[in-house]
Homo-oligomer: A and B are copies of this chain.
Amino acid sequence: MDIEAVADRILDGDRRALARAITLVESGREDHRAEARALLERLKGAGRQALRIGLSGTPGVGKSTFIESFGLMLVKAGLRVAVLAVDPSSARSGGSILGDKTRMEFLSREPAAFIRPSPSQTQLGGVARRTREAVALCEAAGFDVVLIETVGVGQSETVVAEMSDLFVLLLAPAGGDELQGVKRGIMEMADLILVNKADGDLKSAATRTCADYAGALRLLRKRAQDPEGYPKAMTVSALEEHGLSVAWEAMCELNDWRRANGHFDGTRARQARHWFAEDVRQGLLARLQTGEMRSVMDALAAEVEAGQMTPSAAAAEALEKLGG
């Protein structure tokens, strides 16, 4: 691949070049990885930054409808919007939450929008790196907003929050007055909680749920990166396209404040450091499962299972083979 030529096309906003580059960063082949790293280093120089919005919501909260409505609103306002996904389930099912572009039928037809399904990977760590690199490619391609979608299960929210400037939690109206099933750790990551489906029969339930979460958010410890009034809970209706512009204004207000107070750059620097360390850890552990080392590990494991070696002695031998 001609890195320079591809880089120039991406910087020109060429969608096909962008799509091919994302395919490149998704590849596990060693030569592809080297090319991907070279491409990312080359594009970094452009210094382009999108607003990265992480969006989490369990199935049924209307995530697709929200992204469709919210994305179209941004496009109409003259912004270019990319949608990526971190899908912890795709590893098992082989499918992906964004595989079906008809989920966002209108948004996907917009020239200023770019929708990319989640890569199928066996490990969340691998998905994380690929998505993070895809975000960087979208930024270089001149997108103003990158939405990173995930379903609210397992650790994927943490992964998405760790690569986002803003983390938005999308919820459905709750039946009772309980804060249903949202773990405290997830609440603590949220910059904005949006209670969707504030329309029709569910409108009053949405208002009540929103008040409950607003109350819960006030009980959380104040974070340095938040101005007065944040994190915040609001109601929206993706279906009736209601509350979306207010939500966007809140995101901009929060982001502007953070930029003005050094938190935007600070958070990005901390995140970059985190992903660097995580990449090294993943890369190290991957060595155990490749090539000659895999045979060494299997042979030692067999000795340990047979009681011929203690786990500690076998581990020491494996580590020595790994250049200890």
Contact = CB atoms under 8 A, between A and B. Distances in A.
Nearest to A319: B283
Given A280-B297, A311-B279, A273 B323 contact: no
A198 B74 CA distance: 63
Contact of A307 (B269, B270, B311): B269
B313 A41 contact: yes
Contacts of A318: 276, 280, 283
A92 interface: no
A25 B166 CA distance: 46
Contacts of A281: 285, 288
Nearest to A309: B41
A314 interface: yes
A44 B310 contact: yes
A151 to B, nearest CB: 20
Contacts of A306: 269
Contact of A313 (B37, B132, B304, B319): B37
B323 A300 contact: no
B310 A40 contact: yes
A220 interface: no
A275 interface: yes
A133 interface: yes
Closest 6 CB pairs of A and B: A279-B315, A276-B311, A275-B311, A323-B323, A269-B305, A283-B319
